[in-house]
């Protein structure tokens, strides 16, 4: 029983990821409406949107190749797999032993790579623009992301996420300036990676300003549903990754039920707060000019570097 | 001191013909020989005139051939110069090299009336797309609009840029948002825009032709539908042109109510646009708040004027709606409520650095360029041009209730938004003043139709800017020609110029700050 339990938990995490991600996305939208003084469609609206898309037919561009058709599954699959690596409820995950933080970031990169290819595959101007912008941002966001996470790795002496969480959550509590810098850096990158304001606007209808939406503009039906769903999962994963790396307290160390209850409750509380934080950022800012994004990501790289330096100098 | 008139008189000397039958009498009209048409333009350009509009008429039913008309303006003076071209040789000298704004007017005249601007650098059709037969000229009298035309095949010649890394982005005519159709063709290197070319005409409805089949009263209804968001101003401009032809005096209360509706239309559209500009910079909070304020105005319109946009409320002879004491009180208290909320939102607009970073220095239309292009309205005022018809051709009550003109020089997105913020503030004061001085009495009196062969001219400052109508009555006293010049006809070209030096993803924001009408342009 105790041997199979982590595997069940692994499965449970993925189920949670699949079904909690739309609710989290719905929660962010709901909060946004409240902050803007509007009535909301409720936290379950993303489910209805997904249902609608799954029921619709697919319209394929005549010159779409296998890349275009294959991409939604790659994107969805990699998001699901990432859900098996990040400790959401428990640190005792079998998959986590096989893949560390570098593998996790590579998973996101694979999804992005295919999305960018698919954007160019159908040959429309908007797809190409979206892909080129996405790659520009990725080329700066990914190193900064690695730097930020490596700072946490240095503190924990491991690149395994489970190990990192274990050390921070259950080790001795020390206020570390390096982690504060890394957190700041991580928040900036997470905004860019998940396509939120001020880097990208997930709600825009203006084709010329789109980044992520530009690449997926030609998708429809279940393809679009999978990509949208994966997008929600990515937002959820970045939220839980941030929580796991910087605020892991409450996560279950041993796989017993009381600990899991506490882990689930603390996760809900932390996600709720993360949503509020995210919406506060998005509400108060306009989208920046595209050529300001490098400065934005540059400062996030700088914060990550400062975090690493302060680890060596102060800790 | 009529400078433009003097310029023409001194130019023409013996040829001078001052036309009769052009109303109101404050507008002078000259007929010049066709070969001196360009001389007149040169003289007026020297006198620092602005080309307001250029249009053609089919006056064969008067035995005259095609009329080529131009209207010029300087300060408060409007002047019309016309020439005639016979059917056998329907050509006229192009003014494009003197006045850039003639560029599209002349292409349009060629497309729709079949009069050829000689010396025009661009002979491609405008508004009329290639699937029309080339010899179909819908504004000519012998064109039958009820007769279906064969569909032909043709290709539009785009301006192309070539070189390594140059790519083309085609946007529209169908856009992702719920807006009107128009095509934009970008030539870009990376994200930098090399050139933008617009192509409009997708909402060509044949409005000018349609006027000719309508009675004078019905004309006001059609004018109110030229551009739905400017329904009051268009109907007003039409009515004023017709009323000028008959020297008709509208009862004072009617005049005041017309102006009241005009200002309400201005406020509603301006607040909607400031919100939309914020939304295009992804600052959605202001968008929803401004939209809420706009909705409040529209609902008050519905309650007291019977229509959310006050469509068909301006009619020949006055207005179709009166307002009672309740209505006046409600408008007063609405303005008080509105002012408080609006000022708070303006503070948020003004003090959000991230929004400011987007709107400042984006989409700059330099004052010199604005002058060359002959733009009007808030676009002109944001680029240093002192143009406002409520001051230039002040009709009652604007001769007594004076408008404050806000002119900025930076010509960027922020300037266009800020001019509108100031105009909203001013309009609120104007409405208060109008309500305070609202005369008693009739709002409408019965109207007599114009006599044959006269023409009327009017300008009205709609929320986008100067709207011009020129209406001519035919031999039987019917509408022979109704020329409509929406501000969009001259301001669209400014969008092409303002985008130079910007990057592709900033275009929607720049475009929104202009927010020109497709329908008013395509007619």
Whether residue B452 has pLDDT greater than 70: yes
CB contact under 8 A, B285 and A283: yes
Q: Smallest Cα–Cα separation from B235: which of B179, B300, B309, B298?
A: B309
Looking at the complex, report in whole angstroms how far the Cα of residue B295 sits from the nearest Cα belonging to chain A.
14
Mutate which: A137, A286, A291, vs B, most B CBs within 10 A: A286
For chain B, what is the mean pLDDT? Answer: 90
Segment B458-484 mean pLDDT: 91
The pLDDT of residue B16 is above 70: no
**pLDDT band of B53, cuts 50, 70, 90:** very high
Distance from CA of A119 to the nearest CA of B (A): 15
User: Which of B177, B289, B355 is opposite residue A37, by nearest beta carbon?
Assistant: B289
Residues B306 and B313 sit within 8 Å (Cβ to Cβ): yes
The HSE-up count of residue B124 (CA atoms within 13 Å, CB side) is 15
Tell me how many residue pairs between chain A and chain B have CB atoms under 8 A apart.
Answer: 82
Pairing state between β B91-93 and B116-118? parallel
Say which range, A91-95, A252-256, B193-197, has the weakest mean pLDDT: A252-256
Name the residue ranges covered by the structural domains of chain B.
3-118, 207-522
Distances (CA, A) of A315 to A161, A178, A308: 21, 8, 10
pLDDT, one tens digit per residue, over B139-180 is 988 888 888 888 988 888 888 888 888 988 888 788 877 788
- Cβ separation A208–B168 shorter than 8 A: no
Q: For residue B22, give every residue at least 6 positions away whose Cβ sits within 8 Å of its Cβ, in sequence order, or none.
A: B28, B29, B80, B454, B455, B457
What is the number of other CB atoms lying within 10 angstroms of the CB of residue B118?
10
The winner for highest mean pLDDT among A92-106, B11-25, B468-482 is B468-482
- In chain B, which residue's Cα lies nearest the Cα of A125? B169
- Name the residue facing B282 among A38, A129, A286 (closest C-beta): A286
| In the predicted structure, residue B14 carries a pLDDT above the cut 80 | no
Report the residue from A205, A209, A288 with minimal CB separation from B354: A288
pLDDT of residue B451: 86
CB contact under 8 A, B504 and A283: no
Q: Searching chain B, which residue's CA lies closest to the CA of residue A196?
A: B282
Question: What is chain B's length?
Answer: 523
Higher-scoring residue by pLDDT: B16, B422: B422
Q: Topology of domain B3-118, per CATH?
A: Beta Polymerase; domain 2 (3.30.460)
- Taking an 8 Å cut-off on Cβ atoms, the answer to whether A287 and B289 are in contact is no
- Contact (Cβ atoms closer than 8 angstroms) between residue A104 and residue A84: no
Joined together, the tokens standing for residue B83 give 């020439």
Nearest to A21 by CA among A281, A255, A310, A231: A231
What Å distances lie between residue B100 and A1, B51, B103, B120, B374, CA to CA? Answer: 84, 9, 6, 11, 8
CA distance A293 to chain B (A): 13
Q: What's the complex ipTM?
A: 0.89
Query: Which of B167, B191, B288 shows the shortest C-beta gap to A37?
Result: B288
Interface contact flag, B505 A289, Cβ < 8 Å: yes
At B259 the pLDDT is: 93
Instruction: Report how many domains make up chain A.
Output: 1
Task: Determine the distance in angstroms separating the CA of A40 from the nearest CA of chain B, rounded to an integer.
Answer: 13
Please give the residue range of the domain that contains residue A258. 5-314
Question: Which residues on A lie below 8 Å from B362 (Cβ)?
Answer: 289
Buried-exposed string B36-62: b where 16+ CB fall within 10 A, e elsewhere: bbbbbbbbbbebebbbbbbbbbbbeee
Question: What's the confidence (pLDDT) of residue B367?
Answer: 93
On the CB side of A200, CA atoms within 13 Å amount to 23
pLDDT tens digit sequence for A242-276 = 998 888 888 877 667 788 888 889 999 999 999 99
Residue B28 half-sphere exposure, CB side, CA atoms within 13 Å?
18
Radius of gyration (C-alpha) of chain B in whole angstroms: 23
Task: Determine if the peptide bond prior to B397 is cis (ω within 30°).
Answer: yes
Cβ–Cβ below 8 Å for B176 and A205: yes
Longest CA pairwise span in chain B (Å):
71
Report pLDDT for B402.
87
Residues of B with CB under 8 A from a CB of A: 167-171, 175-177, 190-191, 278, 280-285, 288-289, 292, 352, 354-355, 357-358, 362, 503-508
pLDDT of residue A10: 85
pLDDT of residue B15 exceeding 60, the answer is no
pLDDT of B449: 85
A132 contact residues in B (CB cutoff 8 A): 190
Supply the pLDDT for residue A182. 93
What percentage of chain A exceeds 70 in pLDDT? Answer: 99
Please check the confidence at residue B357 and state whether its pLDDT lies above 70.
yes
State the pLDDT confidence band at B7, using cuts at 50, 70 and 90.
Answer: confident
Tell me, rounded to whole angstroms, the distance of Cα B20 from its chain centroid.
27
Residue B17: band (very low, low, confident or very high) from pLDDT cuts 50, 70, 90? low
Grade residue A174 by pLDDT with cuts at 50, 70 and 90: confident
**Mean pLDDT, residues B342-350:** 94
**What's A273's DSSP letter?**
H
> Who among B354, B358, B504 is closest to A208 (CB)?
B504
Q: What is the mean pLDDT of chain A?
A: 89
Record: contact A208-B169, CB cut-off 8 A: yes
Chain B nearest-CA distance from A163, in A, is: 39
- The answer on pLDDT for B110 being more than 80 is yes
Judge: A289–B354 Cβ closer than 8 Å, yes or no.
Answer: no
Residues of B in contact with A126 (CB under 8 A): 169
CB contact under 8 A, A125 and B358: no
pLDDT grade, residue B1 (50/70/90)? low
- Chain A residue at shortest CA distance from B184: A208
Identity of the residue in A36, A197, A208 whose CB atom sits nearest the CB atom of B508: A208
- Specify the pairing of strand B466-473 against strand B166-171: unpaired
Q: Do B284 and A203 touch (CB under 8 A)?
A: yes
Q: Do B282 and A284 touch (CB under 8 A)?
A: no
Q: Do B505 and A198 touch (CB under 8 A)?
A: no
CA distance A301 to A298: 5
Give the pLDDT of residue B161: 87
Spatial neighbors of A208 by CB under 8 A, at least 6 apart, are: A126, A129, B169, B171, B504, B505, B507, B508
Closest approach of chain B CAs to the CA of A67, in angstroms? 23
Chain A residues in contact with B503 by the CB 8 A cut-off are 289-291
At residue B313 the predicted structure's pLDDT band, cuts being 50, 70 and 90, is: very high
Instruction: Check CB contact under 8 Å for A207 and B285.
Output: no
Average pLDDT estimate for B189-209: 90
**pLDDT number for residue B29:** 87
> What kind of architecture, by CATH, is found in domain B207-522?
Orthogonal Bundle (1.10)
Q: Which residues of A touch B (CB under 8 A)?
A: 32, 35-38, 125-126, 128-129, 132, 197-198, 201, 203-209, 283-292
Q: With contact defined as beta carbons under 8 Å apart, do B114 and B91 qualify?
A: no
pLDDT at A298 over 90: yes
Tally Cβ neighbours within 10 Å of residue B136. 16
Give the mean model confidence (pLDDT) for residues B186-193.
Answer: 90
What's the DSSP call for residue A254? Answer: S
Per-residue pLDDT at A234:
93
Q: Which of B175, B282, B499, B509 to mutate to test the interface with A (most CBs of A within 10 A)?
A: B282
Say which residue the tokens 């994107």 belong to.
Answer: A75
Q: How far is A133 from chain B (nearest CA, A)?
A: 9
Q: What is the token pair recorded at B68?
A: 């080529």
- Picking from A289, A291, A294 by the largest number of B CB atoms within 10 A of its own CB, the best residue to mutate is A289
Q: Which of B284, B503, B512 to mutate to test the interface with A (most CBs of A within 10 A)?
A: B284
CA angle B424, B430, B435 (to 5 degrees): 130
Contact B504 A129 (CB under 8 A): yes
């Amino acid at each position: 029983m105790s041997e199979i339990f982590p595997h069940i938990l692994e499965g449970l995490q993925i189920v949670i990821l699949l079904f909690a991600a739309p609710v989290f996305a719905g929660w962010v939208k709901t909060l946004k409406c409240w902050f803007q003084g509007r009535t909301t469609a409720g936290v379950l609206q993303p489910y209805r949107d997904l249902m609608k898309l799954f029921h619709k037919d697919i319209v394929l561009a005549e010159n779409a190749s296998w890349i275009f058709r294959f991409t939604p599954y790659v994107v969805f699959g990699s998001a699901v797999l990432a859900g098996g690596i990040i400790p959401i409820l428990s640190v005792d995950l079998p998959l986590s032993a096989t893949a560390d933080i570098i593998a996790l970031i590579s998973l996101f990169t694979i999804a992005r790579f295919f999305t960018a290819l698919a954007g160019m595959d159908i040959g429309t101007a908007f797809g190409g623009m979206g892909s080129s912008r996405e790659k520009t941002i990725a080329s700066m966001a990914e190193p900064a992301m690695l730097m930020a996470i490596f700072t946490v790795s240095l503190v924990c002496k491991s690149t395994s996420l489970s190990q990192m969480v274990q050390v921070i959550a259950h080790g001795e509590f020390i206020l570390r300036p390096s982690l504060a810098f890394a957190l700041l850096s991580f928040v900036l990158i997470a905004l860019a990676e998940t396509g939120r304001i001020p880097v990208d606007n997930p709600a825009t209808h203006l084709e010329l300003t789109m980044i992520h939406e530009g690449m997926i503009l030609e998708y429809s039906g279940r393809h679009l549903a999978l990509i949208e769903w994966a997008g929600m999962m990515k937002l959820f994963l970045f939220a839980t990754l941030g929580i796991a790396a910087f605020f892991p307290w409450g996560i279950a160390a041993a796989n017993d039920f009381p600990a899991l209850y506490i882990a689930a409750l603390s996760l809900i509380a932390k996600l709720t707060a993360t949503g509020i934080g995210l919406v506060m950022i998005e509400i108060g800012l306009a989208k920046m000019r595209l050529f300001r994004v490098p400065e934005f990501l540059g400062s996030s790289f700088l914060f990550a570097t400062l975090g690493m330096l302060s680890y060596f100098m102060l800790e | 001191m009529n400078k433009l008139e003097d310029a023409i008189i001194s130019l023409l000397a013996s040829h001078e013909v001052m036309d009769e039958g052009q109303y109101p009498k404050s507008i002078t009209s000259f007929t010049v020989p066709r070969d001196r048409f360009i001389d007149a333009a040169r003289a007026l350009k020297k006198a620092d005139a602005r080309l307001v509009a250029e249009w053609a008429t089919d006056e064969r039913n008067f035995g005259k051939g095609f009329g080529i008309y131009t209207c010029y303006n300087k300060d408060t003076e409007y002047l019309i110069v016309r020439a005639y071209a016979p059917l056998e040789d329907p050509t006229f000298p192009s003014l494009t090299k003197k006045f850039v704004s003639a560029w599209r007017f002349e292409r349009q005249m060629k497309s729709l009336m079949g009069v050829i601007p000689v010396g025009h650098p661009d002979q491609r059709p405008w508004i009329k797309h290639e699937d029309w037969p080339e010899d179909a000229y819908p504004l000519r009298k012998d064109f039958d609009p009820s007769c279906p035309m064969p569909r032909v095949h043709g290709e539009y010649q785009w301006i192309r840029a070539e070189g390594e890394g140059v790519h083309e982005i085609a946007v529209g005519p169908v856009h992702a948002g719920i807006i009107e159709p128009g095509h934009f063709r970008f030539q870009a290197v990376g994200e930098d825009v090399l050139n933008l070319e617009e192509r409009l005409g997708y909402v060509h409805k044949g409005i000018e032709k349609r006027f000719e089949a309508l009675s004078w009263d019905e004309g006001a209804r059609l004018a109110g539908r030229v551009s739905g968001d400017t329904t009051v101003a268009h109907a007003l401009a039409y009515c004023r042109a017709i009323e000028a032809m008959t020297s008709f005096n509208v009862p004072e209360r009617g005049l005041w109510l017309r102006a009241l509706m005009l200002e309400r239309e201005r406020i509603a559209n301006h607040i909607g646009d400031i919100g939309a500009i914020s939304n295009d910079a992804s600052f959605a909070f202001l968008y929803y708040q401004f939209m809420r304020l706009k909705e409040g105005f529209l609902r008050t319109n519905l309650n007291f004027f019977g229509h959310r946009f006050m469509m068909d409320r301006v009619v020949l002879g006055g207005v179709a709606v009166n307002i009672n004491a309740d209505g006046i009180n409600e408008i007063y208290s609405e303005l008080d409520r509105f002012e408080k909320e609006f000022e708070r939102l303006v503070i948020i607009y003004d003090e959000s650095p991230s929004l400011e970073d987007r709107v400042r220095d984006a989409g700059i239309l330099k004052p010199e360029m604005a002058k060359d292009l002959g733009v009007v309205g808030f676009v002109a005022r944001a680029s240093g041009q002192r143009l406002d018809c409520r001051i230039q051709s002040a009709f009652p009550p604007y001769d007594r209730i004076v408008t404050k003109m806000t002119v900025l020089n930076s010509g960027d997105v922020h300037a266009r938004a800020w001019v509108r913020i100031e105009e909203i503030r001013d309009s609120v004061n104007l409405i208060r003043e109008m309500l305070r001085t609202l005369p008693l009495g009739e709002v409408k009196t019965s109207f007599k139709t114009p006599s044959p062969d006269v023409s009327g001219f009017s300008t009205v400052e709609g929320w986008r800017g100067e709207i011009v109508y020129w209406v001519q009555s035919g031999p039987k006293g019917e509408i022979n020609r109704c020329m409509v010049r929406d501000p969009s006809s001259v301001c669209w070209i400014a969008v092409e110029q303002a985008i130079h030096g910007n990057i592709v993803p900033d275009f929607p924001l720049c475009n929104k700050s202009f927010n020109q009408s497709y329908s008013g342009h395509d007619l």
